[in-house]
Chains A and B, each alone.
Chain A
């Protein structure tokens, strides 16, 4: 059982791609081997900046023999047919076997495919793997046509067993596999040969290469923590940076330096980001001052001066970088203290989207919406609008231009420096949140207000111009925005009639999009906006505006702008709400709420109030998994089916109150009583939004409904009794339907 060792040695592989590439190498090669019949005991993959390595242990010597039986022509068939079969199966006439079958004697051939030696299969699989490797970005070099992430220099491929190591003969575009590799680029660059994985790993270490990225990372983390500790400080851990740095070195040498006094007053996030993004430095905090005062850099070699030259160079580069950062910070503070007008004005010139206008337009829309939302979110309207106006001002600051990832955070610093409320400043940082399903959700009313306005404006804007996400394409992250709306509403338990805000915001976008239309027509749309604010319902608002303008000179006929926009908005609005409901389904599914339960609840009136919708769904979800709940749904469905069939057949709707005096059996009478009692409980519970109570009352109907169906035949010959019982079923339907649409429940 030989072991296989593969190393693909190249020029420096981007750090961010290494780990994934090692895993791809392992998966592709082992899958290919297994597919060809070569099973193995274990495999592991490694990466360094210059190599991808795979070791596979306990490989079969050769693939097993494969036997296949093939059915041929009948005995006595024409020679031509038999010869054709022989050719196809690759056997001689003497090797054919005659067998009796129900259709008479038939020739059978047994085809035997010999096993193939491991080396042959490995060569095939590796060449294929190299040629089709899934690099995120690959390139050609020199005069060749092979693609790799950077020029590929050598391939090491050996099979090792008790008899020693053998090179697997293969060749990719003139690169022949061998048994040699090289050590560290500067510390031990000579080639050497290896005979097994253990030999390879040990020789690499002697040649100043630590093969395992985890080992390099762990060494860096430990040494960095020790250096920090020895200086009375603590390392600011950063797993992403650690993994990246481990991918930049083969032989880590960890060095710590001090940050020049002149820069220690910069915000810690600025120090950290500048050091991390530009220099890949770790930050070191002094717990006594709480400030970041030192840095750790990781070099790729040992030197005779213990890294003194390297550290001095790095320190100098850092000072130049931080001098830039300080320059930005000082300039930005100057603008901030003069009310940030320079930034907010400049946002007028920044395009947000070529159809949706400038950032300035967008901010005005968000501020107006924030003002409208404030009464619902419990925020102060003026402050909400002010916060929205300033929230994105930092996009024009020099610091954010340099470090886009500091957007929002810098806004918070600058707005505070300008003398605004801390709560208004916090909005700049918090209004982008939440960015995902597990991200923190802001709870401060001002931040919630602007965050909601931001996301609703975004969603309605892209809906208004028909740029909705499709399949895997969601370039404007609208799914994330919808999830943001959901999480903001739920975590603050807002009672927000979404429909109304979506309608009016869609309408505002349409007004802006039709900026070149006649002033009077636009005026009519603005009237419509006022009516929505008044009535809260789009249809009514449109009717009222149309009626009012009927005799005016403004066109309200079918092709007019008012009617065209008036007709499209409800459809867009409904579509957007359905999109939000879809996101809600995904979000709640992760919390164990069944998707059909949510469907059952989104069918109910008031489904744009997400807090209520979710309360209802949670209660239904809790009851549906109980024995009573499950059987009640069955009972309901049975009642509903019988009723629907009867209604279709008779062409009437059975919604007339049933009369207990026609009840014949105890169970029928009991159902009458139970329905009456249940309704008396359910109606006030729904009124009070006590859904668990309403659900419990509904589930309590299970026993009487079951007993009823057990004993009573609905479709009896007596027409009066039948009608009365159908009306009784309709009562079940009506009561259940007031709680949730149980027809949506599966199973």
Chain B
């Protein structure tokens, strides 16, 4: 496969592999998914935390993402409670980021000579992360295929330098490239493989199971308690002295604390799907998660990776 004359990919995984090899070739560290439940690739500390501070960064990764309210028991052609995002974050944003992005579309088989690619205003904001940026949604023949954002603020901190963030909704993009109408029909691996598997073979059952769990079964009392606990643990970790009493080293536990913030955020999403959060409470919960995110950001910028001299 070459970047100049790519064949049309034949499977979901081929699209992911091509994006991995494209961004790897462009100098990004190819990271692995974060090992926690998150609502979007942005929550991965490789984006949220690494967008902070002055140190340069370039990373790309697939992130399984969960949006409990979007579950449709695997019946809706494009709505899933568990789906994949492809995420690229480069800091500082390079001057040719748009060209790099367009190159990635070519790499997955979108012919620029035949399609209509457009950058349409779409400002991004995450109230739970206290983050916002300006950019576009990218349209291919009228379909949104990616989000393109220049981060201006994360966790209440101004971004200096600014990171460029690209987010691809992988299922939707792949369905478009592969010409598939229902996500469950999409070939996951090569259709000519000895054991061809569709997206449905892999995920139909889990979509059903989680839809039932998310909407009707998750124990809301337990979840509410877990939310409180995660919040308390986050605060507890951040309240510790910077100097570790055992090693005498300067260790700020920004990442463990941030894990608790992610946890609280996902629990909130679950509670929301269970319909036990009223409109007014909703704002209050979002505010509590944002407060955690801000405190984690405050802690991270005091660490070495956050730009503090060692």
A143-B120 Cα distance, complex, nearest whole Å:
24
Given that A313-B142, A313-B143 are contacting pairs, would A248 and B150 also be in contact in the complex, using a CB cutoff of 8 Å?
Answer: no
Given A49, A141, A310, which contacts B150 in the complex, CB threshold below 8 Å? A141
Q: Name, among B121, B143, B279, the residue most crowded by chain A CB atoms within 10 Å (CB to CB).
A: B121
Given that A12-B136, A305-B114 are contacting pairs, would A317 and B161 also be in contact in the complex, using a CB cutoff of 8 Å?
Answer: no
In the complex, chain B residues whose CB is within 8 Å of the CB of A305: 114
Given that A137-B134, A299-B116, A309-B115 are contacting pairs, would A351 and B280 also be in contact in the complex, using a CB cutoff of 8 Å?
Answer: yes
Tell me whether B150 and A151 are in contact (CB under 8 A). Answer: yes
In the complex, chain A residues whose CB is within 8 Å of the CB of B121: 12, 14-16
A665: CB under 8 A from chain B?
Answer: no
In the complex, chain B residues whose CB is within 8 Å of the CB of A304: 113-114
In the complex, chain A residues whose CB is within 8 Å of the CB of B119: 11-12, 49
| Min CB–CB distance B78 → chain A (angstroms) | 7
Tell me whether A310 and B120 are in contact (CB under 8 A). Answer: no
Given that A12-B119, A16-B121, A304-B114 are contacting pairs, would A349 and B94 also be in contact in the complex, using a CB cutoff of 8 Å?
Answer: no
In the complex, chain A residues whose CB is within 8 Å of the CB of B92: 141-143
Tell me whether B118 and A300 are in contact (CB under 8 A). Answer: yes
Tell me whether B141 and A313 are in contact (CB under 8 A). Answer: yes
B31: CB under 8 A from chain A?
Answer: no
In the complex, chain B residues whose CB is within 8 Å of the CB of A303: 113-116
Q: CB-nearest residue of chain B relative to A187?
A: B113
In the complex, chain A residues whose CB is within 8 Å of the CB of B155: none
B93: CB under 8 A from chain A?
Answer: yes
A77: CB under 8 A from chain B?
Answer: no
Q: CB-nearest residue of chain A relative to B142?
A: A314
Tell me whether B162 and A140 are in contact (CB under 8 A). Answer: yes
A309-B94 Cα distance, complex, nearest whole Å:
32
Tell me whether A141 and B141 are in contact (CB under 8 A). Answer: no
Tell me whether A317 and B141 are in contact (CB under 8 A). Answer: yes
In the complex, chain A residues whose CB is within 8 Å of the CB of B152: 139-140
B117: CB under 8 A from chain A?
Answer: yes
A153: CB under 8 A from chain B?
Answer: yes
A203-239 contacts to B, CB under 8 A, are: none
A13-B161 Cα distance, complex, nearest whole Å:
21
B145-176 contacts to A, CB under 8 A, are: 150, 152, 159-162, 164, 176
Given that A12-B119, A143-B161 are contacting pairs, would A313 and B140 also be in contact in the complex, using a CB cutoff of 8 Å?
Answer: yes
A351-B282 Cα distance, complex, nearest whole Å:
12
| Min CB–CB distance A140 → chain B (angstroms) | 5
A186: CB under 8 A from chain B?
Answer: yes
A311-357 contacts to B, CB under 8 A, are: 312-314, 316-318, 320, 349-351, 354
In the complex, chain A residues whose CB is within 8 Å of the CB of B176: 313
B112: CB under 8 A from chain A?
Answer: yes
A440-498 contacts to B, CB under 8 A, are: none
Tell me whether B94 and A317 are in contact (CB under 8 A). Answer: no
Tell me whether B112 and A142 are in contact (CB under 8 A). Answer: no
Given that A137-B123, A310-B141 are contacting pairs, would A142 and B114 also be in contact in the complex, using a CB cutoff of 8 Å?
Answer: no
| Min CB–CB distance A191 → chain B (angstroms) | 14
B77: CB under 8 A from chain A?
Answer: yes
Tell me whether B142 and A142 are in contact (CB under 8 A). Answer: no
Tell me whether A301 and B162 are in contact (CB under 8 A). Answer: no
In the complex, chain B residues whose CB is within 8 Å of the CB of A317: 141-143
A297: CB under 8 A from chain B?
Answer: yes
Tell me whether A142 and B141 are in contact (CB under 8 A). Answer: no
| Min CB–CB distance A12 → chain B (angstroms) | 4
In the complex, chain B residues whose CB is within 8 Å of the CB of A350: 279
Q: Name, among A139, A141, A316, A350, the residue most crowded by chain B CB atoms within 10 Å (CB to CB).
A: A141
A141-B150 Cα distance, complex, nearest whole Å:
7
In the complex, chain B residues whose CB is within 8 Å of the CB of A312: 141
A312-B140 Cα distance, complex, nearest whole Å:
11
A593-B162 Cα distance, complex, nearest whole Å:
56
Q: CB-nearest residue of chain A relative to B123?
A: A137
Q: CB-nearest residue of chain A relative to B78?
A: A320
A253-B114 Cα distance, complex, nearest whole Å:
13
Tell me whether A309 and B114 are in contact (CB under 8 A). Answer: yes
A279-B139 Cα distance, complex, nearest whole Å:
10
A-B contact pairs, 21 of them (CB 8 A): A15-B120, A139-B150, A139-B162, A140-B152, A143-B162, A144-B161, A151-B95, A151-B150, A249-B118, A279-B142, A297-B142, A300-B116, A303-B113, A303-B116, A305-B114, A310-B116, A312-B141, A313-B142, A317-B143, A320-B78, A349-B279
* B interface residues, Cβ below 8 angstroms from A: 77-78, 92-95, 98, 112-121, 123, 133-136, 140-143, 150, 152, 159-162, 164, 176, 278-280
Top 5 nearest A-B pairs by Cβ distance? A313-B141, A14-B121, A12-B119, A143-B161, A314-B142
* A interface residues, Cβ below 8 angstroms from B: 11-12, 14-16, 49, 137, 139-144, 149-151, 153, 186, 248-249, 253, 279, 297, 299-301, 303-305, 309-310, 312-314, 316-318, 320, 349-351, 354
Additional 9 contacts, C-beta under 8 A, given A186-B113, A305-B114, A354-B280: A140-B162, A143-B161, A248-B120, A300-B118, A303-B115, A304-B113, A310-B116, A313-B142, A350-B279
